[in-house]
């Protein structure tokens, strides 16, 4: 039987929500062993001079707890 844990991170990008998601997953995977899935929980962004300035996503990252 496996046990998993969730943590949330926020990724940002000037390009897109997809790019912000990739950055969040990539960064979390550098610090957390056993990452296996993600879920985008929120999408938002910032506006500057009437244009989209930045895309932001809150991402839940799931990872398996090590036996021990």
32: Cβ–Cβ under 8 A, 6 or more apart, which residues?
A: 7, 61, 63
Q: Where are the domains of the chain?
A: 4-64
The closest alpha carbon to 41, from 20, 64, 13, 14, belongs to 20
> Which pLDDT band holds residue 23 (cuts at 50, 70, 90)?
very high
CATH (residue range 4-64): 3.30.1660.10
pLDDT value of position 67:
79
Q: Which two tokens stand for residue 19?
A: 């790019």
DSSP of 6-53: EEEEEEEESS-HHHHHHHHHHHHHHHSTTEEEEEEEEEEEEEETTEEE
Q: Which pTM does this prediction carry?
A: 0.88
In the predicted model, is pLDDT for residue 1 greater than 90? Answer: no
Task: Please give the average per-residue pLDDT across 36-65, as a whole number.
Answer: 97
Give me 57's structure tokens: 């996503």
């Amino acid at each position: 039987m496996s046990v998993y844990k969730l943590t949330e991170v926020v990724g940002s990008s000037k390009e897109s929500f997809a790019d912000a998601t990739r950055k969040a997953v990539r960064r979390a995977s550098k610090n957390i062993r056993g990452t296996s899935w993600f879920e985008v929980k929120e999408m938002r962004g910032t506006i500057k001079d009437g244009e989209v300035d930045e895309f932001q996503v809150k991402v839940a990252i799931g990872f398996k707890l090590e036996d021990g």
